[in-house]
Structures are given as structure tokens and as C-alpha cells.
Amino acid sequence: MGLGHLGQAYGWVLSWLNYADPTQVQVVLQDTDKTAIANRSTGVLTPAASHDLMKTRLVAAALDSIGYDTRIVERSLDDNLKISAADVHVALIGVDNLPARRAISNVGWKLAIDTGLGAGATDFCSILLRRFPSNTSSTQVVGWTDPVVGGAPVPDTPAFADLSERMDRCGLVVLAGKAVGASFVGIVAATLAVAEAVRELHGGRGTDVTNLNLDSVELHLAPSTAEGDVIPLPLRTLGDAADKSVDLSQ
């Protein structure tokens, strides 16, 4: 759900799962946006010079190339989205707006994992995963209320100190408030999300909240309050393993 920075990272990480029969793996790709040239910097499945292509079809083509059974849904995540018990088993959420996040618990997914990334100059290495169902509904997450509108804080760094001498305060705040993204952060976050989805298949205990800062390597976990509901599929053995991951050379 959502095929920007995070959603494409999910797709790439999924391509490394060495299923014995990838045609048995159904991946539903949902988004409403088209690509822009700027998406190339953080979208690992976005080709160079990509412009005005539906992200669903772009990612579907990449996963189709390694044998996955893909489906596309080109509509938004909102309070009107509902699924049946047979539709989707695990949802990996990569949306960037709070109303969509608040709707997660009402859709009907057996297991949903939402990933949020820091976006500012000082926190873009931060990763926050939330798993549902949990003892807190998506409508009750305190951090998912509508944000207070205001100027972004200016980081106390040499770079911004230098800019402050050559730019007015208004322009400096605008620059400080610009979203910052790095594809490696999305890849790490996607790896954690996929690992969370399969953790209990291997005897582990899930986590309702995972908070990781890649800069300080500070990690905080909140153990799960409900068991995950995940369908296993066999993987190839090490002797039969083949490199079938999505080629990013383009």
C-alpha cells in the first residue's frame, strides 16, 4: 500500500525471498500516483528519466519479471476501503499521510505493518514500525492526530549556520522543512517490516512498535499483544537458491 520510497523498497526486499514457486506468491500493489523524475532519487524501482508512469504498473512489471503473481489497485487508502477475508493476508503500508494511517485498522487486514520514516534534515535516519492488530487501534495512535501547522525548526549545524548568513530567516525555515529521503533508509525499513511479517513463522515474538535510529543505532521495541496471522510458503533450499532479485541497474 503506497508505492513511493517505502513501497518500492518493500517490492525490492520481497524479490529477495527465494520462494520455491514464486507463481504462488500473490502481491497486490495499491497506489494512485504517477512517477516524476524526482522519484528516481529514492524509488529503487523507478528507472532513470521515468515520468508520468503509474507506480502500480511500474512495480508490477518489476515483480512480474521474477515470477510473482501481481495485482494492481489504483485507489486510495481511506475509511471507505474494505477487504474480504480472502483478499489480502499481510499488508505492508508505506503511505505518507495521517488520514490514511488512521484508516488501517478499519480495512480488515489480518496483519498490517505500517512504516514511517523521518523526513527532516535531522531525523531522516529514523524508522518507526507499527503492527496491527494491537492493543491500540490505528485511530487511537497519539502521533497520528493532525499535526499543528507551524514553521520547521532550524537545525543547529554548521551548514545551516553558514546559510543563515546568506539567507533570510523565512527562506531558512522553508529549507529546513523540506523533506529529506535516502533510499538506504527505506531499504532497511522495508527489511525490518518484511522480517516482522514472518517473525512468528520462525518461533519469534512480534513487536507492536519498533523504533530505530540508524544514526545512533538506538532501538526501542514494544512486544506484540496479538499473534500474527501469516500463511507460509516454502523457500528453495540453499543448494537450489537462485539469484532472482529485481535488477536495479536500469
DSSP state of 34: B
Catalytic residue, from 170, 217, 231, 242: name it.
170
Name the H helices within the chain.
Answer: 5-14, 55-64, 98-102, 158-164, 169-176, 183-198
Burial per residue of 164-175, b for 16 or more beta-carbon CB atoms within 10 angstroms, e otherwise: eeeeeeeebeee
Contact 9, 183 (CB under 8 A): yes
d(CA 68, CA 27): 7
Closest residue by Cα to residue 110 from 83, 137, 135, 129:
83
Closest residue by Cα to residue 212 from 234, 243, 188:
188
Measured between alpha carbons, how far is residue 95 from residues 117, 175, 192, 210 in Å? 10, 23, 16, 17
Decide if 125 is catalytic. Answer: no
Closest residue by Cα to residue 109 from 96, 95, 91:
91
Query: What are 239's three cell numbers?
Result: 543448494
Active-site residue set = 170
